[in-house]
Amino acid sequence: PPHLSPDMVSSPPCSLSSLPLSSSVRYFVKMAWAWTFCLLLPFIALTNYHLTGKAGLVLRRLSTLLVGTAIWYICTSIFSNIEHYTGSCYQSPALEGVRKEHQSKQQCHQEGGFWHGFDISGHSFLLTFCALMIVEEMSVLHEVKTDRSHCLHTAITTLVVALGILTFIWVLMFLCTAVYFHNLSQKVFGTLFGLLGWYGTYGFWYPKAFSPGLPPQSCSLNLKQDSYKK
Catalytic residue, chosen from 3, 50, 102, 182, is 182
Q: How far apart are CA 193 and CA 207, in angstroms?
A: 20
Rounded Cα distance between 110 and 137, Å, is 42
109 flagged as catalytic: no
Which H or E element spans position 90? strand 88-90
Q: Residue 121 contacts by C-beta under 8 Å, 6 or more apart in sequence?
A: 2, 177, 181, 182, 186, 187, 189, 190, 191
Q: Tell me the CA distances in angstroms from 213 to 65, 136, 174, 188, 196, one per residue in order.
A: 12, 12, 28, 29, 17
Q: In this structure, how many other beta carbons lie within 10 angstroms of the beta carbon of residue 127?
A: 29
Reply yes or no on whether 50 is catalytic.
Answer: no
Query: CA-CA distance, 189 to 196, in Å (whole number)?
Result: 10
Contacts of residues 224-229 at CB distance under 8 Å and 24 or more positions apart, as own/partner, are: 224/139, 228/202, 228/203, 228/204
The residue from 84, 102, 123, 153 that is catalytic is: 123
The residues annotated as belonging to the active site are 123, 182
